[in-house]
Chains A and B, each alone.
Chain A
Amino acid sequence: MFYCVYSTFISTFYDLSKILGPPTSWFILSFPKMATPKKKKMPVQEEIQDVDNDSAMAVPSSAIPPPNISSIKNKMRRTHEFIKLKRQRRKEKKELQKKRKRETEALGDEAPPKKVPKTIENMRVFDETMVDPQDEEVLHDEAHDEMASYFSRDTRPKVLITSSDRPRSTTTRFLKELGQCIPNSEIYYRRGLDIKKVITQALAKEFTDIIVINEDRRKPNGLLLCHLPDGPTAHFKISNVKLHDEIKRAPKSTEHYPEVILNNFNTRLGHTVGRMFAALFPHDPQFSGRQAVTFHNQRDFIFFRHHRYLFKNNKRVGLNELGPRFTLKLRSLQKGTFDSKFGEYEWVHKRHEMDTSRRKFFL
């Protein structure tokens, strides 16, 4: 029985070789051919022969779109159609770019200026609180505000860093890294003490700032920055925390005083917050340490980075990221030291009133 089957198989095998030719050619079965099966005749490619050209319902052929690629059930055919479409689109785009380039070169000096794409930053809603650097009133206000004693070099910063009660490992590591990053800082465990009591003790020990890291679900999620003796209290949301161990190839930071870079704190509120950050670090950075701490504000998110830079030559700089990396978002700014119940707020983030426009920012 088996012998019969085998013989028939061999006979068919030999028959096939007559039809298809030598065996080597079989393997050039041309895969592309397999992948391109018989095309469905798309009715759109042909002209629609409208019998009654004068009828009210005549529709020009170009107006009917080709059927949607996603309606093709066969995955191979579908992907192929999509690749074709993408190729065609890329080609059209390149042609358009070339055409535009040719036109601008042809016009030379008369060419219209290059168009600037609209971004959320340059479409930002006009903010009347944007600070004019020469504004007399704002300068006077800042010269007499709570942080003025730092900027006039009357006080030197001394920072107390603590967390919410019973911090987990991530938060304790975060505290230690912050302590390394901010010079002249001391880390204390909270041990269930009220913030108002922490403030009175800190005032007695001549601290100038208090940072309280709040933790939720084993991760730091809030930062309370309170300037002493009667300075404003800022409450931030922390997100996207990356510690020193999580940053690849991060070297260890040293004790040198870093340079502080504050970017984009343009509005009056931004100025106050920027000054609070600046007041955490000592005035004279030690340039030999080549360390820089950056608070970059973009779209109301403040990005904290800690780098060591190295000038390779006059034009190229290498950056090595040290220390923690996190993102802050201001939730409220309260006048006076921490008093959330009875304190007066200078600014509170009210989501439903303030987050209505994608192009309106406050810092």
Chain B
Amino acid sequence: MAASMQHVFVGAATGVFKGVNLAQKKATNFQNVASLSREEEICAMCWGNQQESQVCIGLKNGLVKTFDAEQGEFTDCANCAGGDGRFTGLAKYQGSLVTCVESGLLRVWKDEGEKVDMDVGKDVCRMRQNHALPHQVATGGKENELKLWDIQEPEKPIFKAKNVRNDFLDLRVPVWVTDLQFLSEQKLVTCTGHRQVRVYDPATPKRRPVLNVELGEYALTALSVTPDCQSVIVGDSQGSMVMVDLRMGKVQKAFKGFAGAIRSLQCHPTLPMVASCGLDRFLRIHDINTKEMLHKVYLKSKLNCLLFSSADFTQEETETTKKQKRKLESSNITDEDEDELWGNMSVVQDGKKTDKTKRKAKTKKLKKPK
């Protein structure tokens, strides 16, 4: 059924799972909307395999469904209930699913019902896996500092961040990690609900953030690292998306066009593009370099999470280019015909220079005074 390739997979708050083809500008729902309930709200998504042909979707009621992009339907449904709260992160490690819920229960669902549990603290907001080292997982939440875990050693975190120093009033700075990402192999970058962007380096003995930047006026909700790993794009709860340069620690660019909170952001792995979705029911693709909005798709439901596939869709044929190709093929001009064509055309001679002194009287139409 999935004859066209989906470039972006989006999960909605109503539970609808959508795929968007940007070249053809089409969005498809992969489920029957009427059969869904509020309990099937999509909370987290991740790629099921390296080839990005499978998507794992975590629902509010604890189920994790696997969607096959080639077949265009859901192939598997696993009950991953455990702990309280919604899924805050999904990952795949050596073929088995790793889930994390808000109450702090991080579980690796191995085959034959075997489970490995880890307690990562209360009120977790996000859990992400390191793509370079898949056994590493990072978590963070409200009053729950950033922690880096190794799945093979579930007892203690490899790295536990320390809060920054007291502020100028000597008050403790509150902690609220809303989103985090792995920056290159070792470093981590987080954004907080208190409008801070922080970079941590677990390789150094320093547990405090290497970089701490305060931005904007509203809580930051989503974060994504640009392909060159030099800057980071953050979105906030009022719909402002901004690019922060990590070397300078300053805001570089701001992207426009949003009306509501940004729930999820992802940069394309190779192309300079960023996809964002949020509560205003639109999926937007911006160009990172020119700040231009390339695509804006209305998706009717509030959007929770998205996955941007690595495929290079700019090279794909769109409908218009296909038509142009067909036209060219049908005209069938050979080389000999071309020479004849050029030979038959008359030679254009250079015109005489007009005498600048001779000016034609221009009769401008004068407007009637009112």
Contacts and interface: CB of A to CB of B under 8 A. Distances in A.
Given A63-B365, A353-B256, A344 B221 contact: yes
Contacts of A344: 221, 237, 260-261, 263, 279
Contacts, number: 83
A2 B351 CA distance: 95
Contacts of A60: 363
A136 B34 contact: yes
Contact of A347 (B14, B237, B260, B368): B260
A56 B280 CA distance: 64
State which size class the interface on B falls in: 35 or more
A144 B259 CA distance: 23
Interface stretch (B82-90, B105-113, B144-152, B298-306): B298-306
B260 A345 contact: yes
Contacts of A56: 359, 361
B298 A128 contact: yes
A348 interface: yes
B300 A135 contact: yes
Given A60-B363, A65-B366, A137-B14, A346 B279 contact: yes
B296 to A, nearest CB: 9
A263 to B, nearest CB: 23
Nearest to A130: B298
Contact of A57 (B218, B298, B361): B361
Contact of B280 (A140, A144, A347): A347
B78 interface: no
Interface string B24-42: 0000010001101110000
B41 to A, nearest CB: 10
Given A137-B29, A140-B14, A65 B359 contact: no
Nearest to A55: B361
Interface stretch (A99-107, A315-323, A335-343): A335-343
B33 A136 contact: yes
A345 B261 contact: yes
B193 interface: yes
Contact of B14 (A66, A129, A144): A144
B327 interface: no
B300 A141 contact: yes
A59 B363 contact: yes
A314 interface: no
A346 B36 contact: no
A347 B36 contact: no
Nearest to B41: A144
A299 interface: no
A350 interface: yes
A140 B36 contact: yes
Contacts of B36: 140
Contacts of A77: none
B237 A65 contact: no
Interface string A46-69: 000000000011111001111111
Contacts of B268: none
Contact of A144 (B38, B257, B361): B38
B281 interface: yes
B46 interface: no
A345 B279 contact: yes
Contacts of B302: 335, 346
B367 interface: yes
B368 A65 contact: yes
B369 interface: yes
Interface string A150-183: 0000000000000000000000000000000000
Contacts of A57: 361
Interface string B209-253: 000000000110100000000000000011100000000000000
Main secondary structure of the interface of A (DSSP, over half): loop
A345 B278 CA distance: 10
A286 to B, nearest CB: 34
Interface residues of A, number: 35
Contact of B219 (A64, A69, A341, A354): A341
A137 B301 contact: yes
Contact of B238 (A64, A135, A141, A348): A348
Contact of B237 (A58, A68, A144, A343): A343
Interface in A105-154: 128-129, 135-138, 140-141, 144
Nearest to A59: B363
Given A129-B298, A137-B301, A335-B279, A350 B259 contact: yes
A299 B279 CA distance: 23
Contacts of B307: none
Contact of B193 (A128, A138, A342): A342
B369 A68 contact: yes
A348 B193 contact: no
Contact of A66 (B193, B263, B361, B369): B369
Nearest to B369: A68
B16 interface: yes
Which of A136, A344, A348, A353 is packed against the most chain B CB atoms within 10 Å? A344
Interface in B324-366: 359, 361, 363, 365-366
A268 interface: yes
Contacts of A268: 281, 300
A105 to B, nearest CB: 31
Given A140-B33, A141-B300, A268-B300, A353 B257 contact: yes
B367 A65 contact: yes
A13 to B, nearest CB: 48
Could you say which of B33, B34, B281, B300 has the most chain A C-beta atoms within 10 Å of its C-beta? Answer: B300
Given A128-B298, A138-B300, A346-B261, 20 more contacts: A56-B361, A59-B363, A137-B300, A140-B14, A140-B33, A144-B14, A144-B38, A335-B261, A335-B279, A341-B219, A342-B219, A345-B238, A345-B239, A345-B279, A347-B260, A347-B279, A348-B238, A350-B239, A350-B259, A354-B259
Q: 10 tightest CB-CB pairs across the interface, nearest first?
A: A344-B261, A68-B369, A128-B298, A344-B237, A346-B279, A137-B300, A346-B260, A140-B33, A137-B33, A56-B361
Interface of A: 56-60, 63-69, 128-129, 135-138, 140-141, 144, 268, 335, 341-348, 350, 353-354, 362
28 contacts: A56-B359, A60-B363, A65-B366, A65-B369, A69-B369, A128-B298, A129-B281, A136-B34, A137-B16, A140-B14, A140-B33, A141-B300, A335-B261, A335-B279, A341-B218, A344-B260, A344-B279, A345-B239, A345-B260, A345-B261, A346-B280, A346-B302, A347-B260, A348-B239, A348-B259, A348-B260, A350-B239, A362-B259
